[in-house]
Chain A
Amino acid sequence: MTYATFAWRNLTRRPVRTTLTAGGVALAVAVAVSLGGFNLGYRNAISGSIEQLGFQVMVMAKGCPYEAATLMLKGGTGLIYLPEDAHEQIRTDPDIAEITPIFIGIAEKQGFALDGSPAASSFAILTGVDTPSFLAMKPWLQLKTGRGYDGGRWFAPGATNEIVMGYEVAEYEQRKVGDTFYATIVPHGSVEPRQHAFTVVGVLERTGSQDDGTVFLPLHVAQQLFARDGELTIIGIKLREFNAIRMREFEGRWLKIPEVQVVSLEQVKGALVSLVGTAQTMVAAVALIAILVAVIGVVNSILMSVHERTGEIGVLKAVGANRAQIFRLVWFETLLICLAGAIPGSLFAAGAARLTDAALRAVLNIGVSQSLVRITPELLGIAILGAVILGLFAGIWPAGRAASLRPVAAIRSGE
């Protein structure tokens, strides 16, 4: 027999109490692991989504960086525009490797998804792109093939009613190549909505990015439909060499254009991370409280156990146990109860990551398509190690109390 098996036997003496205490630890660890997974997954998802944009720098009309961030990832709502000649000026910059002008507008769709999916809103993001420069920026974009999608292509020169649909929006709208897509647009300066019928000429393969939910059309067509000729929403730029110094130099050169801001990916990442920073802090506070409650529960449970076994601890001393051995025994009990909670708690959090992801998406309106919760073996290891360390601290008081019992008094109190 070892101290661990002896300690485990002691814990099984009160199975309900032990289970409840370990359950408290499991809950706290599950919350902590989910929070850690969210931190990790969210940053990862933001990075992934931004990399899918294809550009490192964005030029847009001056506004708040949060709007810039959501604009890039979700299309935004309160759109502001910059003059198209800014694109003509900036494209001459020698540091630019690729540049593409983009126009984004919001249109009302004719109907909802045929399958009634709530994910399909009544609005569609229409993105006007300059096809050659846009595809140079995003060479990974592929047109879907197969039945109903064969013959897919980008817009013909001069076409005014052709669109290419992202994977998800095409799925929601049940559209294939050759189908018609109706959208209602309110042109700038008008209150009269106008319905347009577009022909779907291509559907994109899934990218896992914001492009999946976008309807693409030629840049100048989009500008005309929204009555914003000569205006752009953003200019996407890939620099030949991207670092903080180059970025600052580039920004310094082009901030001279009135009403224009130059935003780097890093700024956007920072803005997006800070968007959910408050929520993360609140969840962290809840996790911390859960951990504190669990630790108090463990201390209380072990103290009760020590109190109930006062006489028995006296007997152990009488048969040869010294202070350190009694301390070790009770410490083992604390450690085991923490492990008994931490391991299932971690596994539960890992197993429920998809549910957590769905719950977070329901609560937080975040414009990223990748999983928001990423639970790694390292994270699970840290959580279990953390629970062990907390268990070691939680065990000090009850173990010390048990170790300091005088055998005669302890045996007498237990009789």
Chain B
Amino acid sequence: MNNQTLITGRNLHRHYQRGSETVRALDGVDIDVRAGESVCILGPSGSGKTTLINLLSALDAPTSGELIIGGRRVDGLAEHELVNIRRGLLGYVFQQFHLIPTLTVAENIALPLLFLGRRVDPADTQRVLEAVGLADRAGHRPNELSGGQMQRVAIGRALMIKPRVLIADEPTGNLDRATGEAIFDLFQTTVSEQGVALVLTTHNLALAERCDRTLTLADGKIVAP
């Protein structure tokens, strides 16, 4: 593990307009994510966890504040510019897996390479399939998989581009306890073996305790580092 800071957020605000009301989803958050560490973001529903995750994964830009991802300023960028930050640097895992139903497991895993314009090396796909424990499921469609297997595919898809930061929004939220544990083990293996930074949100305190750091959010603010 090295201590290179991959993500730096200072005084991050994200406000939404809901009718005449301004919703302060994030209200002055500071955060640093370093290479090879796992950071867990805890908090009740509506506390701003997903909003923060969206900012850290460059899916959204802050209303104000300074956000640097992979050495590039993100605040102030338009949506079509944010994609250049995401590509090749960030891997994203969703709570609801979001696999493409018409593609096989192997094709889902290799999908990001299509958008990066990279040729798919079957050996790379096989390596990732083995890493996520789905080598025997390469030709299956998502509807033929269990929830845990689908989440493994989603993790494989995120890992395929060899990201420097893996971001997961409640990745075990739709899984039973045992499967959730297994998925978390996979995350930890990835962090330790590949030196990838992991940022995840969860309601599961037991899993949070296994992360290097835990941040607790409430009403858009970090209340416990």
> Using a CB–CB distance below 8 Å, which chain A residues touch chain B?
1-3, 6, 9-10, 12-13, 311-312, 315-323, 325, 406-408, 411, 414-415
Q: Given A1-B114, A319-B115, A322-B115, do A13 and B101 touch, yes or no (CB 8 Å)?
A: yes
B94 within 8 A of A: yes
CB-based contact A320/B102 at 8 Å: no
CB-based contact B102/A10 at 8 Å: yes
Cβ proximity bits B206-219 to A, threshold 8 Å, 1 near / 0 not? 00000000000000
A346 to B54, CA, bound (A): 49
CB-based contact A320/B103 at 8 Å: no
Task: Bin the interface of chain B by size.
Answer: 20 to 34
A415 to B57, CA, bound (A): 19
CB-based contact B102/A311 at 8 Å: no
The listed residue (B60, B83, B94, B98) touching A320 by CB distance below 8 A is B83
CB-based contact A321/B60 at 8 Å: no
CB-based contact B60/A13 at 8 Å: no
CB-based contact A406/B102 at 8 Å: no
A311 to B96, CA, bound (A): 11
A317 to B86, CA, bound (A): 9
Cross-chain pairs A/B with CB under 8 angstroms, 17 sampled: A1-B103, A1-B107, A1-B110, A6-B114, A12-B102, A311-B98, A315-B100, A318-B94, A319-B92, A319-B115, A320-B112, A321-B115, A322-B83, A408-B60, A411-B94, A411-B98, A415-B96
B100 CB contacts on chain A under 8 angstroms: 312, 315
Query: From residue A27, how far is it (CB to closest CB) to chain B in Å?
Result: 27
A311 CB contacts on chain B under 8 angstroms: 98
Closest 10 CB pairs of A and B: A9-B102, A320-B115, A315-B98, A321-B115, A320-B87, A319-B112, A322-B83, A320-B112, A318-B92, A408-B60
A316 to B102, CA, bound (A): 14
B161 within 8 A of A: yes
A315 to B108, CA, bound (A): 12
CB-based contact B111/A319 at 8 Å: yes
> Using a CB–CB distance below 8 Å, which chain B residues touch chain A?
54, 57, 59-60, 79-80, 83-84, 86-88, 92, 94, 96, 98, 100-103, 107, 110-112, 114-116, 120, 157-158, 161
CB-based contact A13/B102 at 8 Å: yes
Query: From residue B32, how far is it (CB to closest CB) to chain A in Å?
Result: 23
A406 to B16, CA, bound (A): 15
Closest B residue by C-beta to A3: B114
A408 to B56, CA, bound (A): 13
CB-based contact A318/B86 at 8 Å: yes
CB-based contact A320/B101 at 8 Å: no
A6 CB contacts on chain B under 8 angstroms: 103, 114
Closest A residue by C-beta to B157: A319
Closest B residue by C-beta to A6: B114
CB-based contact A407/B59 at 8 Å: yes
A215 to B153, CA, bound (A): 83
A408 to B25, CA, bound (A): 14
A10 to B116, CA, bound (A): 20
B80 CB contacts on chain A under 8 angstroms: 322-323
CB-based contact A9/B94 at 8 Å: no
Query: From residue A16, how far is it (CB to closest CB) to chain B in Å?
Result: 15
A411 CB contacts on chain B under 8 angstroms: 59, 94, 98
Closest B residue by C-beta to A317: B83
